[in-house]
Structure 1
């Protein structure tokens, strides 16, 4: 108490009340205060329901090769407050309509010595705060280089954090749960090997960062609208519990090349005393611009299968032959090579997946390893690694397209860049036109390995501009994009809804690389999914991967019922049934849920939520009166209790429940499940067991009179 009083008095002594501005959220639960300190340093604080969420925190940017940074010596020359309220309809999403309602404060600051101006714009919503830096056109601030952004987030205590290590090149880590004060000691243990990784600090973490206070407040720190700027990480001073922004540098260490007029991404703080409201927040989307694609009729949610998991597990390979020690495109003659017998992208195998997709009503088939170059694609700093148009001898592009078309199935293209983005951009128009000529409307792109141009990182300004360029170029060709190994999403899919998927986190593939924690999928909705949907590739039914490949001893740390629930809890308009047809054929009764579950929704209700422990979601299929429920559980067994009060009054529904059996366990008995049917109404309740690493899935279909 004495420490808090001292801090408050020190704060009061350090600013002039005339330089203070308050902003209240529309519902009055949030109060943000902007304060200019006596040395002209801008700062802010945030309260929720009269509780401090962010203590007074400094704002500003440090510039390179400049005698005066944009940190202090400011005066307030103008303040403007506005209110905004609209409802907008996403092209696809968790709900049919989104309300964008906020109060705004724009503070114009003038730096006395340099006569340079910046604007700090705050938007306070009913579920949190967004703010950004703006650099108006002016003669004294034209071109400048950011050395570091100095945005602070001063925490009120030693909160519990759900975090992954700060890294310029990968987000593919399991989450660690710890106190903030414990991050330093756990930093090395929290890292797992990746083909490209660059950590920067023993207290550095990535956004979206989920926190929980001792008195039950949930706090999420992230960013929105990451355009022409470096990705933000957070570095913790674990003595003061203050996070400071830490941008991703280029190879020279520079963190942003700016030309006014310009602005930063939004920094976001989502807060609630109910974890479900964190999941339901639409701040990230609302802080992005409306769609820049006028005609969005060609953008369709996709449920697909593919030649992928058999490669990930080692049952088959991307490469066509083992004969060549190196490959040079246009020189190496694959028509004379001896096939290795393991190449997955062959005509017969692809037709098997097309037949399976057609039989079970899937929209598309993804095929990886179809194009020349996979024999030595990785780890050589190779520029001309793929041309994205030349297939292997056993992959008939036109013939397979016609076969798929005759079955009512679309083919999904795969573009792996191997980190050679210059090569990809060089071929992009030709590759996209090749896709359109051969009936491909969607592409999965990849950026595995180190970025070879100038030794850059995956998340710096240059690379973020590349990812954006690829999305916008794809829109010109009416192509949907699912980017893997790219920067984590920040709501840009509102502006470019052809971005229908991202990986940008530790996905299902890691279940084949040693496994992920069983509670991993109870954390992702609070972290990675805050920025946008994830192509998590769920639906694995065979957990013992030695049955796929005798040399693979990995185990999928999930029950079968948990895998079904992911189609509801891990929102995405792009959902893969990732296992092989053979494994689905063994469990056709459970596979029925994957066939039935929708991928586009008119409404979503978060019924239960606690980060790292459990998530239960109900979603209404767009254009129907049918609902689907998913529950995923963490390490400990639990009884989930839910109400069906989201159902329409006076209606009856048949609920098919796919649940863990009593003896189910993610490690020892993952394929133990039960299927039952009951009639429910909006007055019904359910108490359902969820096993360790387990869960349940429910399809709720209206009974027509």
Structure 2
């Protein structure tokens, strides 16, 4: 059902540039109001209001181009157009089965008053929960190919808001979040301390990444990000700690330019989500709605799934990705000498396949299966992997046949070591191999400095590379899980085979570093996950004593919280990340992972506060069953839940996986208990969460 009303089309010419300063153009949708104006210097600007109070003060817009450093002033407003859209659409997979796309659009047409008299359009879409806007460069005589050297988009805050941020790094999103006022933003100490991140490039100490989560002193939640990032660098934000003004800061290329464009063209959308309720921020579909519909016509082959993998054992040092100790460890015939520690060997992989087949897990990932791992990292080397040659102890055909006989899919792994040029040359070869052996999905990786040398993970060239890989995967009917790309911006609507990304600090940091603090998973949904699903790799059961040579290393969660993450951190490709033997030691707790869905008809954000707590309930696709996850930070918490989201008149069998009374993430993380009970829509529950703890509920229709 789609309704589009184009109800105002106005073309007005002004003799003076400041006419709109006195009478701004405005659009209101429920509690959200946008005002657009052009000031006396011909500078376009906007302001944003929520519930009749300022949310963003007057904020200027525009660019510097290589041949016009002042393409942000001297404009006149030559026309406006408005329209309304109200439609529903169905995602291929997701957190809900139907999404409403309801907005009022304002297009402003600008033209320079002198010089080349170039034109610029700005498109605003005002939703009930925020605003998205982008720049459009229309086809015109005096603007063809051009270079963006800076974007001057501003987000001028009304005060010194509380912020949840990570450094504005061109090459990594894998930092621990800092919570501070805007006036306290300084990423240099954070960057310097983050020695567990392989590549760090953060030249502006006052720059932060998006999505940026903010909260004002009077309780307004603001989330700033972008949508539909294609053919453009990722946007970071420079914070003026004195004026509380945030300004777009684009990731540069190897020669310092930001973007190479050809009119007609447009930028990604800049997004601002607003509410006086934290739960509304997480419920918003504004970013998805600003992305284009699927480019893939037949999506029947795209199937959300759970998987296990030969991965965590390498992270904790039990086995290795490499076949030999190093590249020079060879016998007299020049062949690599096996170290005996290689994880991706046929016998070990079959063990994971057997476990998956017994436990309702659909697939198995294997890393380290292909040659090249002896010399894969740290040398800025272009030709590392060929993506098709297995190590001698990995029987790719035998493993594929064995998995198929047990109804298990295999997930390919293509680590590039940052060498995107090498990967692009071999994409067709790599994906033909996946098709040959029936691999329905691939996990890609970009650990290390990028090649082309001088490019960054979040620059324009790499943004286009990630999209090319998604399209190539779609051409071969392969689903994609990308690690180390730019943070997502809703492109899973356009490329629904792009199921998940890492693009953040995942569970793996608990394996080889100081790990993630207990509040980390309560912040991620308000930041990293705003743009799309995250392959966080939850489900670690052995929470202490898992790292050889480091007895004190541990996860900063309880076991019950690891279960809850399957609900609170959404991904349609969801990993059960621990070793099979650690799951076999707790079969009652593993039952939740076996049961939990990865595709949903409905989602209810029951309670939320960034950095503190989160409770989400989700209804499994095509069933009447619900799953619920509740998590907290380092503080113990009791949460009271009303199950009124359940269907009235129905009875349900609930299994509650919760922290034991003496559980604590630091001293007793693996203590949990199970409780079974009948529940209905009128049931109210009190759940006690340990410090760093959580609870997971399986709520199934009674038979």
TM-score greater than 0.5 by the shorter chain: yes
Q: Which residue of 1 aligns with 2:81?
A: 80
Q: Which residue of 1 aligns with 2:9?
A: none
CA distance in 2, matches of 1:348, 1:326: 23
Which aligned pairs between 1:610-625 and structure 2 lie closer than 5 A? 610-625=609-624
CA distance in 2, matches of 1:287, 1:272: 19
Which aligned pairs between 1:318-329 and structure 2 lie closer than 5 A? 318-322=321-325, 324-325=327-328
Which aligned pairs between 1:267-416 and structure 2 lie closer than 5 A? 267-322=270-325, 324-325=327-328, 336-416=335-415
- Residue 676 and residue 479 in structure 1: after superposition, are their counterparts in 2 closer, same or farther (change >3 A)? same
- 1:657 to partner: Cα distance: 0.4
Q: Which residue of 1 aligns with 2:36?
A: 34
CA distance in 2, matches of 1:609, 1:188: 26
- Residue 333 and residue 611 in structure 1: after superposition, are their counterparts in 2 closer, same or farther (change >3 A)? farther
Is 2:329–2:336's contact at 8 Å kept on the other side of the alignment? Answer: no
Is 2:137–2:263's contact at 8 Å kept on the other side of the alignment? Answer: yes
Which aligned pairs between 1:110-125 and structure 2 lie closer than 5 A? 110-113=111-114, 114-125=116-127
CA distance in 2, matches of 1:201, 1:559: 37
Deviations 1:309-332 (A, max 9, x none): 0001111000001253389xxxx9
Which aligned pairs between 1:230-269 and structure 2 lie closer than 5 A? 230-269=233-272
Unmatched segments (≥5 aa) in structure 1: 1-13
Q: Which residue of 2 aligns with 1:104?
A: 105
Deviations 1:286-312 (A, max 9, x none): 000000100000000010000000001
2:535 is equivalent to residue 532 of structure 1: no
Q: Which residue of 1 aligns with 2:675?
A: 676
CA distance in 2, matches of 1:503, 1:656: 30
Q: Which residue of 2 aligns with 1:9?
A: none
Deviations 1:593-639 (A, max 9, x none): 00010110000000010000001000000111010000111111110
CA distance in 2, matches of 1:324, 1:141: 53
Q: Which residue of 1 aligns with 2:137?
A: 135
- Residue 334 and residue 212 in structure 1: after superposition, are their counterparts in 2 closer, same or farther (change >3 A)? farther
Q: Which residue of 2 aligns with 1:208?
A: 211
Is 1:187–1:203's contact at 8 Å kept on the other side of the alignment? Answer: no
How does the TM-score come out when normalised to structure 1? Answer: 0.95
CA distance in 2, matches of 1:221, 1:445: 27
Q: Which residue of 2 aligns with 1:443?
A: 442
Is 1:573–1:599's contact at 8 Å kept on the other side of the alignment? Answer: yes
- 1:197 to partner: Cα distance: 1.1
CA distance in 2, matches of 1:209, 1:191: 21
- 1:452 to partner: Cα distance: 2.7
Secondary structure at the aligned position of 2:440 is classed as strand
Q: Which residue of 1 aligns with 2:220?
A: 217
CA distance in 2, matches of 1:25, 1:496: 32
- 1:335 to partner: Cα distance: 8.4
Secondary structure at the aligned position of 2:648 is classed as coil
CA distance in 1, matches of 2:441, 2:191: 38
Is 1:325–1:376's contact at 8 Å kept on the other side of the alignment? Answer: no
Is 2:310–2:367's contact at 8 Å kept on the other side of the alignment? Answer: yes
Which aligned pairs between 1:657-676 and structure 2 lie closer than 5 A? 657-676=656-675
Secondary structure at the aligned position of 1:70 is classed as coil
Aligned pairs, number: 685
Secondary structure at the aligned position of 1:683 is classed as coil
Q: Which residue of 1 aligns with 2:128?
A: 126
Q: Which residue of 1 aligns with 2:12?
A: none
- 1:204 to partner: Cα distance: 0.6
Secondary structure at the aligned position of 1:700 is classed as strand
- 1:19 to partner: Cα distance: 6.7
Q: Which residue of 1 aligns with 2:183?
A: 181
2:195 is equivalent to residue 196 of structure 1: no
Secondary structure at the aligned position of 2:19 is classed as strand
- Residue 315 and residue 111 in structure 1: after superposition, are their counterparts in 2 closer, same or farther (change >3 A)? same
- 1:553 to partner: Cα distance: 4.3
- 1:25 to partner: Cα distance: 3.8
Q: Which residue of 2 aligns with 1:11?
A: none
